[in-house]
Structure 1
């Protein structure tokens, strides 16, 4: 184990000192912070831009109100628009009450179009006023429902309201894929590079393939996890400086936070070990990436089926994804945010994932030992059984 830790330390330090890795750490700040301040500037521009909206009413039912200005014909409205006197204008044809058609005119610039909901609210107010409806009925027509969703658990008890519960599955799935793609990419690059320059032959003369592969898994995995942690901190910083902070304050440490650690660790080891299986026999990085596509597709399968999981977290499909090792980390964490998963399902999922990790690491070490010493050649599926027997 000592030799594996030495390899892990070397791979970690060699990775984090590269320019590409350092750039990836600061890239979120270089992108997110300017976007954050730019969004505020854009909002200010939108606020300071002309807000008056013109209209040409051929039905005679609309009355000027606030920012809405009446024009007698389209020509006058067009001149006002081109002279920046109004933001945009719309026309109400004579058959509006029958067809509901409204034509909205703008200059094509970013802030030239009036919000349709603002125009619709103006039309509703005028239609209600023309119909003679009382204030109570008019207010109810404007705001027909104030829906408050109530969720019951399996015992029929009312659960606490969680506005962000449907945001968590997306965050979990995206974070899982980011970590898998990043750390597995480092591992594949390292294996292919050492095979090309033959340094791996020298390493295998002083330590076993299992120790070398274990060290690489720990080293590259630690570098990838460091990168993910920095990305998370960048996201938290950006969120804390925006209006989203109040929304995410509802998220509390719960079962998902606790189970995220073993699922994240086991998921990384499973995918990294699988990537090592295809990277070792590969002669180039392109070949390794092509072989790794199948594992990438398995990893994003829960994201592709996210709509099904959200709609029916206890369905057969969702349960199957919980037991399949390559989909279990993302699928299980997503289901936990949506429903109460029985303890035996979580235990069985972790057990199958652990067994799969042990088997994959063992097989990948054998393939690594046999294929890494090959002089070259393309990866051939028919050679894999021979690698496993050696």
Structure 2
């Protein structure tokens, strides 16, 4: 039997439009299962639901593996064998990456209010994690489903679902890197930037700073104490001055804890500092300048855990042809253009890009409000985004690289 030629992206998008209500139903099904990064039972139930939904739409995978996450959500890979010429050897292998954890505490859904229509009357759908990034998960599953139903030759496709992206991909990073090295191309189903794909992302640091002082009675002998809170306050103010927004470097202290009682000079304090950089040179500068900060009381010891979580991501040479391919598919869909952009947030695409491998991020939802109560998607874009991913898949029956 001769395989059908690759269908035009417009035809795949038309088919996606016909089933868009079903895709939206799947999106809402995923949203209704809350999956806070810190709720292990909720994450386990969410991953079970995601696997069940994938199997409902695509059948049993040819291979699957669930990687225990320990204190993080598990990571699941589901592989569907390619149908192109020489499948398994020369048919190409695409990795679709998406996280199912969200920043929202369990229970948020009950009080969530749906957004009104936009100023131009477009419908919006809201919910915890709908934009970042449960819509991308559903669209990725349906993209492969529609591509398969078209009869076109297809590459092998592996879905990688991880439950710890929002807290740094602490357990899933090695799984992502290994899977990316086995694939020819990686598509990350993170939300778009107002319709643009993301080809550059900042590197991130999640630093923990600890101040150790000397406890004393705040009223009887305050001079005997050395306040960890005061010293750490000095540190975070000085750290903020290390930022260089004109170079793409931002520094924000998001957590601050310390002390044991109101009437005790604090002997311990900790701060969680979020750092974003656009280059390795800035990463090195930040390390050096933070280490050089001095506090006024020499009795207080400052310790910095330099935890660089994700390296900066740029459009590497391997990814440029993938961007060109996606733009070709977008033109076939009838789009005027498919813009790309740089964003301040990091994702699992950072890991893949740092390996010098082809990756394209921001292939998921169109909407806005990530990590905010107003998080939403435009449901009228679901078909086009699903068709875009499907159109890219049917053109990747041959390795993009190598």
State whether TM-score is above 0.5.
no
Q: Which has the larger radius of gyration?
A: 1
| More RCO (CA 8 Å, sep 6+) | 2
Which structure features the higher share of strand residues?
Answer: 2
More helix by share: 1
TM-score of the aligned structures, taking structure 1 as reference length: 0.25
